[in-house]
Chains A and B, each alone.
Chain A
Amino acid sequence: MLGKRRPQKERASKAVKAQSISIHSNLSAALPAFLRKENLHDRETGDAVGSLVTLLSNYREEGRRLFPEVFFFNDIANTLQTLPNSEQVVIGTGPKTSATLDVAMKRCAPLAQWGWSIYVMRTRTQFEYGLIRCGLTALSLTAFELLIEEGDESLPAIGIRHISQHEIEVSGACKNRLRIHFGRVRRSDDDPVLIGARFCRSIVTRVPSEVREQVHNFYRRILGGVLKSGHGCLAIVLRSRPGERRLPSKFRDGVVIEPPIDISKKVATLLKGNNCESDVRLRATAALIRGMLSSDGITVFGSDGSVRAYNVFIKNPIRATGNAPGSGGARHRAYASLCSWVGYDIDSAFFLSQDGQAEFLGS
């Protein structure tokens, strides 16, 4: 059966060839169906989006990690009309290839901050790219919220954004979502954004109903920033006890903020006055809270949306929980202790590891 034997040389080369696995190829397989469901499919767009996601997975300029938010849509004029108080800066155009998007990122990514996002508009033969922003104050709904989360199939759009250091989400106006992990693979119910949103809901339980939605969005955006920062965090919401204003003694080993930072009041002031001063104050407070969440220790919130303390350390976390020592890092062990207090001293506890794994326990 000589005819069925392969040549010796070919067999040798097969033996040394390594198996090539690419996240990009997995992505390329999933994208066409996704884009079809989002009414944005063509071969060039599929290739370009796949290549862009890979590029964004660890995008750096001058050594600095960047997390730009990128939109794809068909019609810039109609899209901007649906975004009140919006602005657009056109940066360039090019053929519908991934090379054009490489150039677009190079030119736009360093600018896509302070509310600016990158847009890519598809025409029949070209990509036009640039930057867009919308909104008036720190409370205004963002382009992502309007175009994607509250999007409508009559206005096709997809948004690409980091949800943590190692995770990118591609989502569309028709409510389809792809989560691409560049770190360890997680279960779909581990979505750190959703877990973060549950914690934010816990923070606003006792916020007056007139401003609850806005305070919730305020914290959700702060947490979104923390998720991308690559710094872990630990936070709790205190259980409210009528007449008790003092922080419980077990949470006093840290920086106690007296008087607490009253976010509800700041939000209400901005809504009432809609002036620049209140907006600047609220944005500045957001920066403070983000810093607190990125500090070591526990950040303590009240269920009225206030910030009570940060950089708080609890004693003997391992003994307190009875957990076996060595299971997880110090932050995770502290979280385990906090979980045992949920329903007693605290309403909820939130944990975020450095690699973007989030956990939440609420009463």
Chain B
Amino acid sequence: MREFRYERATDVAGAVALLADAPEGAFLGGGTNLVDLMKLGVATPDVLVDVRELTSREVTELPDGGLRIGAGVPNADLAADRRVRERFPVLAQALLAGASGQLRNRATTGGNLLQRTRCSYFTDVTRPCNKRSPGSGCAALEGVHRNHAILGQTIAGPEDAATCVATHPSDMAVAMLALDAVVRVLGPDGERAVPIADLHRLPGDDPSRDTTLRHGELITAIDLPGLAMPSRYRKVRDRASFAFALVSIAAALRVEDGVVQDVRLALGEWRTSPGGPPPRSTCCAACRRPRRRSRVRRSRSSREPRRWRTTASRSRWPATSSSEPCWT
């Protein structure tokens, strides 16, 4: 592991100032991913600025019924928060479907969003990987890649500098994407709010950049808008627990009087970032419009209690009007 200087600041602004002066430095949250990558020689910061106890560890109410999650809230605490369990079950389920009890106790909300891919070539410094070592190529393209991206990837040959088929491993981010979360960021140039759909980027011509954050920008909180919608997270993996997803989906659906008023879907591990390229939300604009009654029909077997069966299968949904094909 490369030698590094360990720094603590008295507040988040001080932490941002410290990292602004350290072009090869990094923020340290729970460290469950970063420390591992440092051991592997994949991450080589010369300065670590510890922010785990600086960023908020509180979950607070927002006026619209939503929640503000401090970036330092451990994953375990967020999953156990009663307001999250009752209002945003998709988020609690996604968190509980990820990692192990020990890791969830240490990993932070901000750090979860910024974890790196678990592509085995990314974590092996002896192999080519454009994400780790720009321009070196992509060993996954002709290697072990059964759990890699099927959407959003760049494929231009194993030796091309843009090729990347890695996926983002976060379950939590997928749920937050379906919930239209907003990431609050503090950087050397001040504060800004980034819709989560704009946080993670596709590899494009630079697979080394996972997110749109600039060096020195610190995630301070994540806002969940108040959405009273039934929601669920489903994850398919090779073993029943403590495994990354092969594929996952976060879904929220609001049905009123037989009409689907709102449907939100986000995909995990299918693609090189959670969610989708344009549109910048969970799916295309056409898919996000309220459905007509014909899309949902009342079960004939029983009128009370009301039961609805959606017929909105993926193949029936309208094609997107944007230039990018809708994943549905």
Indicate whether A and B interact. Answer: no
Chain A residues near B (Cβ < 8 Å): none
Chain B residues near A (Cβ < 8 Å): none
